[in-house]
Amino acid sequence: MSPIVPSLPPHLVQLGFDYILAVESGDDVQATRLDTEVEQMPGCCRASRN
């Protein structure tokens, strides 16, 4: 069963035990704004597009 995280920001999507930060491709302003949040989440890995 997945953990319940009541303080999870609305722009995060829970998938099982993993959390994915959803930022539209090319939305650098949004990605930059959320960068600090991502760094504060233990075990969070960034996926980059090449």
DSSP structural state of residue 26: T
Does residue 34 lie in a domain region? yes
Does residue 10 lie in a domain region? yes
Strand partners, 14: 19
pLDDT digits (tens, 9 = 90+) for 5-14: 555 555 555 5
CA gap 26, 40 in Å, rounded = 23
Total of domains in the chain: 1
Does residue 50 lie in a domain region? no
pLDDT digits (tens, 9 = 90+) for 38-49: 777 766 666 655
Does residue 40 lie in a domain region? yes
Does residue 49 lie in a domain region? no
Q: Residue 30 sits in which domain range?
A: 1-44
Does residue 27 lie in a domain region? yes
